[in-house]
Structure 1
Amino acid sequence: MTVTLMWEARAVPGRGAELLEWARAQRPAARPLRRETFTAPQDRVLVLTWWETSPGLPGPPELPEPPAELVTRPVHRWRFTSHGVD
């Protein structure tokens, strides 16, 4: 099965470029099937990673929390399970 991890953080105003640079430099121990990085208004950075996994195996690695001085709040994280591509 394929699991997609969503990681979203909001930078301190004016520090979005730094948060983006920090997020793009993070490399989990394992390599995902796919990784995309996005930005949005209000200095938000979003990272989506796709992983192949099986029930009972340890979950995919998460991106860490960024340095506290870069963000306005804790990171939001969600895990989604794919049910196919139409």
Structure 2
Amino acid sequence: MTVALMWEARAAEGRGEELLAWARAQELPVRPARRETFRASQDRVLVITWWDASPDAELPELPEPDGELVMRAVHRWRFESLGSD
């Protein structure tokens, strides 16, 4: 089974590139099957990691960045893959 963890943060004003660099530099203690990083308007950064695991497995996640780097708490979601079409 494949589980996708999504981590999304919005940078403080003018700190989008710094947040992106910070997210890319974060190492996880276990390597996921896949990891992809995105950016969007309003200096938002999204990281998705894919894991070969059960939906309730304990999986490592990116931490919260320093409070001055972001405008709000990180949003996190966990999805179970239902396959591709």
TM-score (norm 1): 0.94
After the TM superposition, which residues 1-86 of structure 1 pair with which residues of structure 2 at under 5 Å, given as runs? 1-54=1-54, 58-86=57-85
Q: Provide closer, same or farther for how the CA distance between residues 24 and 55 of structure 1 changes in structure 2, counting only shifts above 3 A.
A: closer
TM-score (norm 2): 0.95
Q: CA deviation at 1:54?
A: 3.0
Q: Which runs of 5+ in 2 are unaligned?
A: none
Give the Cα separation in 1 of the matches to 2:13 and 2:68.
Answer: 11
Q: Deviations over 1:42-75 (max 9, x none)?
A: 000000000011366x421110000111000000
1:21 aligns to what SS in structure 2? helix
Q: Which runs of 5+ in 1 are unaligned?
A: none
Q: Count residues in correspondence.
A: 85
% identical equivalent positions: 69
Aligned-pair Cα RMSD in Å: 1.2
